[in-house]
Amino acid sequence: MWKKVEKLGFYLACLVLLLVVRPSNGEEVVRISLKKGEVDANIRLGDSDSEVIPLDNTLNTQYYGEIGIGTPPQRFTVAFDTGSSNLWLPSSKCFFSIPCYLRQRYDSDKSRTYLFNGTYGKINSGWRSISGFFSQENVEIGNLLVEAQDFIEATQIGNEFIAMKYDGMLGLGFQELSAENAVPVWYNMLNQSLVREKVFSIWLSKNPNAVIGGEIVFGGVDQKHFTGQHLYVPVTKKGYWQFDVDDILVESQSLGACGSYGCAAIIDSGTALLGGPGFVVEQINRAIGAEGVSTAQCKKVISLYGDVIWDFLVTRVIRPSKICSKLELCRGVFPRGIKPMVEGSSTNIDIGCVACEIAVSWAQVLLRQGHTKKEAFKHLTKLCLSLQSPKSQPVINCAVLSSMPNISFVIGAQPFNLMPDQYMLKVGKGMAKVCMSGFTSSDSNLPGSPQWILGDMFIRAFHTVFDFGDLRLGFAESA
């Protein structure tokens, strides 16, 4: 599998609310939301009760909700992931993976409905991986009880999950994607007649501070979470929820990235960002004015401390190797706006220090070559552009957000426009606040891999219907 685009080590937590509504005929629509909400009369619910499970949305980067597994139920939080198809949870038999000790772990000895399976199970999606063995249990999602569900008890969990706040994942992709061809939870909901319609839908709040953070409706849609009508396009390949994107536009100008046959894309609720081919993502990031974190920090060092660095070098009051320490840029202290992009991130602390040391080194060379300070600063600014940040998302000054272009995905001949505040993430506070581009490279060498992965950023902007019965996806402007 290709590299997933979710690479941000600063992800915090979300919770998810499960609102279950039971119609009078015994069939159910299950609503997973972040807060107790009123039943929408436009959904065919009839007389109903609702059950609400509180959820959180932190920084618009993780969404997850609570399920129960076993008898009596053991409670877990899971990411509802349309980019995978298995249910997996940490096992009490996981001893040698650090992430297991940071999560709830399923204990089969405490359940009366556990059935042994023992088949080896492994999921490897490039940047994240787990392995373990299959077991069978009853799974509660709100008031729904899915019986005899195969799931993976994970005994090895990759360290990339340390930053994730949920316990496991519940895949909502097709069975074709499932490890060991295990029947997904959604399939068993349908097979056991737990929902009426072969449809589920996802809405995510645009406001990370909102009490209501999002909603999944199993068996229908919630009319109040979208405006207008959904545009439906066919699923082109089962496995992921894959479809065709006709074109990608910066404002109204085509990037020519999809040619005559379109670009393969998937909707992936388990991914925060917008992933695409590296060369196209680079075009987009240049068009919106985003640049690597190293470049941004380098420019900031020169802007705020260039005069002081130059004076230190000219007067030789301090040895060049001591200048950055004197300025407190290499001690984890960031005065006057030179701060880590994300609080608590040692990676960004290193970038600030390295940017200063590079600036000092370059300034030394330019001084020896006889350049004036004005000439040297021009050279230094250009040199900052050559710095690479391969593991960091490009950033831009949040103050210029309103002047940035819209980026559009043309789907079914209709442009779906993302405005700057929809494709950028705001990170940090005060002078250290920056906006981080949501476009990231998802290049894969595997044949048949989709070129584009449209994650939570897209779903937040466009309420999405996953129509399993008619094998199609529906998009409408989110409300």
Annotated catalytic residues are 81, 268
- Per DSSP, the residues of 273-327 read SEEE-HHHHHHHHHHTT-B-HHHHHHHHHHHHHHHHHHHHHHHTSS-HHHHHHHT
User: Which of 209, 204, 276, 270 has the alpha carbon at shortest distance from 426?
Assistant: 209
| Distance from C-alpha of 27 to C-alpha of 48, rounded to nearest angstrom | 10
Nearest to 78 by CA among 12, 169, 176, 194: 169
Angle of helix 373-384 relative to helix 293-315, nearest 10 degrees? Answer: 150
Compute the distance between CA of residue 51 and CA of residue 67 in angstroms, rounded to an integer: 13
Rounded to 5 degrees, what are φ and ψ at 197? -95, 145
Q: CB under 8 Å to 35, separation ≥6 — which residues? A: 17, 52, 54, 55, 211, 212, 213
Neighbour count for residue 334 (Cβ, 10 Å): 18
Query: How far is 89 from 213, CA to CA, in rounded Å?
Result: 23
Contact in structure between 464 and 473 (CB atoms under 8 Å) = yes
Measured on CA atoms in the order 56, 57, 58, 63, is the torsion positive or negative?
A: positive
What letter represents residue 477's amino acid?
Answer: E
249 forms bridges with which residues in the sheet? 254, 408
Query: Among 109, 112, 129, which Cα is nearest to 121's?
Result: 129
**Beta-sheet strand order (sheet of 247-250):** 253-254, 247-250, 407-411, 414-418
Token reading at 72 = 């009596």
Which amino acid, residue 198? K
